[in-house]
Structures are given as structure tokens and as C-alpha cells.
């Protein structure tokens, strides 16, 4: 009785496994092959012959019974391979680890991936040997300045879109404090690595700051908003400047025109300002502050303008697309 039951169970499972789920395909198959062949599964991938696009190769159902290809033969099938035509590593999504500077140290292990170095310095030049590194940075800064000096029209257009969209919350008061030197950070944690002594990022940001905050921009903003414009420095436009500060920046050819700005003192604080009306800046914290941040400009043509006054802080993100600036994001916070 037990053997009879097992036989019936086997027969049921066998018939069930051969259930025809696509009659049209099965009918086409039978025109060319026997029913037995059409219901066979020689490659043991659980996909019957009449539904299997690769009946002699074991493959998954999602690829119709065919194995997924591995074009570069790196053991990672093309659908999961970020570089399907280049043999690579699983840890790098199927892509090879590169060595851009050709020093024999893969970029993933190279502390200076764009500059030839030695293994004992983690891929950086030997200690103290940074001449080539800084010559390259010097030339990069020269090229950066030349490119952006030729794009001054972009900065004029940016000036217009920023100040044509000033929210009414920031139009109160007699003055506007603006940061002309936003990113003042220079790494002081100097190590033997050349990159630790680099000021390239800082120098690029300062150049973009002064390119935007030209004498023409001060005149334009003061007239448009009918406000005194107070130049400051730092990420929050709170630190006022004096002529000694400007003289240091002038050594690089920046902001010399501000030496003609009058000086004002209030609440034990003093600073320079571009006058537009008879009311002098008060330094009491009630005026609007503006920071135009270029930290993402070099990489993707994006600029963030932050307006703040009392408890309000608005962030406007602009992106240069199709030869024009577009507002792509606005964030408003109240504190």
C-alpha cells in the first residue's frame, strides 16, 4: 500500500512539473519536435525545452533559460558588471582598479593618485620632494583663472538672478552685510605629504569670490536695493574687515577698490562699507547677511546664495544650464 502511494505521488509530481504554461509556444515546439522533447529539461535548469531559449545550457528563468553573459570573463556577469568590457574586481563592481599616475600603486591605495610617488610614502612623492606637485597646482590655478576671467558674463548674469529674487524678509534695514571671502580655511595640519600643504582649493574659492564681488557688483546691489553694502569675511558674513585686511588681499590683485570705502564704527566694532544712503551701518545684528558660496562651482556649475536675517535663513541653489542660470532648489529655515 505504501509503495502504491509513493508511485501515485511521483506520478502526480511528474505530471505537475510538465504542466503546459504556454500553449502557443508548446504548439510551435511540437511542429518541429516530439512532445517528449518539448517537455524535456536536458540542461536541468527547471525550464522545459519548449520555453528554454538555451536548452543545452543551464540558465535562470529571468533570462529565458540562458546563462547571463560575462563578456570580459572576469567572473562577474554583464548585468552586474559596471565595466562589462574590462576585466575587473568584484570589490570594484567589475571594474579594474586604475593607476592614473602610473607609479605602480593602484589609485585605491594611493594617497596622491594623480602624482607619481613611492610605496613608502603611500604613493606620494618622497618626503620634501614637492616641486612637481606645486608646479602642477600653480599651472592649474593659472588655467582656472584664465577660464573664469573669460566667463565674466556668467558672473554678471548670476548677480542679476540673485538680486532680482531677494525675498521681502531680507529687504528690511539700511544695510546688507556680504561675505567677500567665504572659505578662509587653510590646512595647518601639515604632514610630509605634498597635498597637506596645498592651498589650491582655497585659492580657487577666493578668486571666484572676488570675481563676483567686483566694484560693479557693489554699485549694482547698492543701487538696486538702496542699501549700504558692508564687506565681511567668513561663512556667516559676520566678521568685518579693515584696510590692513584689504591690503593683504590686494597683493594678489584682489579688492583694491575697497581701500576707498569709508570706515564706520558702532558698538565697539568697526569696518568698511560702500555707502548708498545717509544711515550708517549699525552692527546690531538686525541687517541682512548674504553669503554667495562657490564651493560646488568648479565641479558642477552650482552656486548657493544664503540670505539670513534675525531668525530667517534662506538657501537658493543656482545651476548654470544651457548658457543660463536656473534656480534648482530653495530651502527656508526659521530659528
Reported as a single tens digit per residue, the pLDDT across 172-183 is: 888 999 999 998
The DSSP bridge pattern shows strands 269-272 and 302-309 to be unpaired
pLDDT at residue number 67: 83
**CA–CA distance, 267 with 281 (Å, rounded to integer):** 11
Report whether pLDDT(51) > 80: yes
Of 63-72, 151-160, 163-172, the one with minimum mean pLDDT is: 63-72
Q: What is the DSSP letter of 285?
A: S
CA atoms within 13 A on the CB side of 284: 7
Report whether pLDDT(170) > 50: yes
> In this structure, are residues 194 and 125 in contact, taking their beta carbons and an 8 Å threshold?
yes
Report whether pLDDT(3) > 60: no
Report whether pLDDT(6) > 50: no
324 vs 30: which has the higher pLDDT: 324
pLDDT at residue number 9: 39
Reported as a single tens digit per residue, the pLDDT across 184-234 is: 776 665 555 677 778 899 999 999 999 999 999 999 999 999 999 999 999
Mean pLDDT score across all residues of the chain? 86
Report whether pLDDT(59) > 90: no
In percent, the amount of the chain with pLDDT more than 90 equals 42
Question: Which grid coordinates belong to 41?
Answer: 529539461
How far from the centroid of its chain's Cα atoms is residue 172's Cα? 35
- Give 195-262 as a DSSP string: GGG--HHHHHHHHHHHHHS-HHHHHHHHHHHT-EEEEEETTTT-EE--HHHHHHHHTTT--GGGGGSP
- Give 162-192 as a DSSP string: HHTS--GGGS-SSEEEEEEE----------S
Reported as a single tens digit per residue, the pLDDT across 253-302 is: 999 999 999 998 866 778 899 998 777 887 777 889 999 999 999 888 99
Q: Which of 136, 297, 138 is nearest to 211 (CA)?
A: 297
pLDDT at residue number 315: 96
**CA–CA distance, 290 with 309 (Å, rounded to integer):** 9
> In this structure, are residues 54 and 65 in contact, taking their beta carbons and an 8 Å threshold?
yes
Strand segments, DSSP code E, in 33-148 are none
Q: Which of 318, 320, 297, 292 is nearest to 307 (CA)?
A: 292
Question: Which grid coordinates belong to 117?
Answer: 610617488
pTM score over 0.85: no
Q: Which residues pair with 289 in a beta bridge?
A: 177, 308
pLDDT at residue number 35: 84
Please report which residue ranges of 72-199 form alpha helices under DSSP H: 131-149, 152-163
Q: Which of 211, 294, 293 is nearest to 254 (CA)?
A: 211
Q: Which residues pair with 272 in a beta bridge?
A: 263
**How many residues are listed for the chain in this entry?**
335
The DSSP element (H or E) to which 210 belongs, if any, is: helix 200-212
Reported as a single tens digit per residue, the pLDDT across 10-32 is: 444 444 445 677 888 888 888 88
* Local confidence band at 2 (pLDDT 50, 70, 90 cut-offs): very low
Reported as a single tens digit per residue, the pLDDT across 104-132 is: 999 889 888 887 888 988 888 777 667 88
Report whether pLDDT(157) > 90: yes
Q: How far is CA 168 from CA 94, 121, 153, 308, in A?
A: 53, 55, 27, 12
Amino acid at each position: 500500500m505504501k509503495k502504491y502511494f509513493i508511485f501515485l505521488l511521483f506520478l502526480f509530481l511528474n505530471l505537475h512539473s510538465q504542466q503546459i504554461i504556454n500553449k502557443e509556444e508548446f504548439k510551435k515546439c511540437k511542429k518541429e519536435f516530439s512532445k517528449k522533447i518539448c517537455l524535456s529539461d536536458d540542461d536541468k535548469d527547471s525550464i522545459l525545452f519548449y520555453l528554454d531559449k538555451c536548452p543545452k545550457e543551464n540558465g535562470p528563468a529571468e533570462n529565458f533559460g540562458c546563462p547571463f553573459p560575462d563578456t570580459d570573463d572576469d567572473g562577474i556577469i554583464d548585468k552586474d558588471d559596471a565595466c562589462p568590457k574590462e576585466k575587473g574586481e568584484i570589490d570594484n563592481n567589475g571594474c579594474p582598479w586604475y593607476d592614473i599616475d602610473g607609479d605602480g600603486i593602484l589609485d585605491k591605495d594611493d594617497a596622491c593618485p594623480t602624482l607619481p610617488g613611492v610605496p613608502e610614502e603611500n604613493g606620494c612623492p618622497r618626503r620634501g620632494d614637492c616641486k612637481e606637485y606645486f608646479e602642477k597646482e600653480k599651472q592649474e590655478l593659472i588655467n582656472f583663472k584664465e577660464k573664469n576671467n573669460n566667463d565674466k558674463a556668467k558672473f554678471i548674469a548670476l548677480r542679476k538672478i540673485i538680486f532680482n529674487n531677494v525675498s521681502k524678509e531680507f529687504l528690511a534695514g539700511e544695510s546688507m552685510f556680504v561675505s567677500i571671502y567665504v572659505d578662509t580655511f587653510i590646512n595647518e595640519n601639515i604632514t610630509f605629504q605634498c597635498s597637506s600643504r596645498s592651498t589650491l582649493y582655497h585659492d580657487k574659492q577666493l578668486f571666484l569670490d572676488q570675481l563676483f564681488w567686483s566694484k560693479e557688483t557693489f554699485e549694482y546691489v547698492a543701487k538696486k536695493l538702496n542699501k549700504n553694502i558692508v564687506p565681511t569675511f567668513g561663512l556667516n558674513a559676520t566678521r568685518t574687515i579693515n584696510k590692513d585686511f584689504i591690503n593683504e588681499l590686494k597683493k594678489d590683485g584682489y579688492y583694491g577698490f575697497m581701500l576707498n570705502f569709508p570706515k564706520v564704527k558702532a558698538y565697539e566694532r568697526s569696518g568698511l562699507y560702500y555707502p548708498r544712503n545717509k544711515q550708517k551701518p549699525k552692527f546690531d545684528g538686525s541687517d541682512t547677511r548674504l553669503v554667495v558660496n562657490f564651493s560646488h562651482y568648479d565641479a558642477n556649475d552650482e552656486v548657493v546664495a544664503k540670505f539670513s536675517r534675525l531668525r530667517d535663513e534662506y538657501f537658493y541653489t543656482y545651476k548654470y544650464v544651457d548658457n543660463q542660470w536656473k534656480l534648482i532648489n530653495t530651502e527656508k529655515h526659521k530659528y
